[in-house]
Amino acid sequence: TPEFQNMIKDSGKRLFDMVIVWKLDRFARNRYDSARYKTTLKKNGVKVVSATEIISNGSEGILLESLLEGYAEYYSADLAEKVSRGMTENVLKS
């Protein structure tokens, strides 16, 4: 969204130091976009924090965050496949 892109741009102005998300999987559409945006934010001194997930700052936090984002992307892709399959089956039944 334009607002999200503005937030990424504004992070360079050092107007804020934290972005709070409900869940990490709501931050970006996929893990690649997430990594890209988080890298930009980190370079600009901004931390992404989940309101509902407790993730440590240590090495185990890196692993947990990667797993959560990977699972969210898997879930989305799996759901899309199931919806497509269901629609195809409904057409074939008609």
Domains parsed from the chain with CATH numbers: 2-93 (3.40.50.1390)
Helical axes 59-93 vs 31-43, angle rounded to 10°: 150
pLDDT digits (tens, 9 = 90+) for 7-66: 999 999 999 999 999 998 888 888 899 999 999 999 999 999 999 999 998 999 999 999
Whole-prediction pTM: 0.77
Q: Are 65 and 55 in contact (CB under 8 A)?
A: yes
Q: Are 11 and 44 in contact (CB under 8 A)?
A: yes
Q: Is the confidence at residue 5, as pLDDT, over 80?
A: yes
Question: Cβ neighbours of residue 5 under 8 Å, at least 6 residues apart?
Answer: none
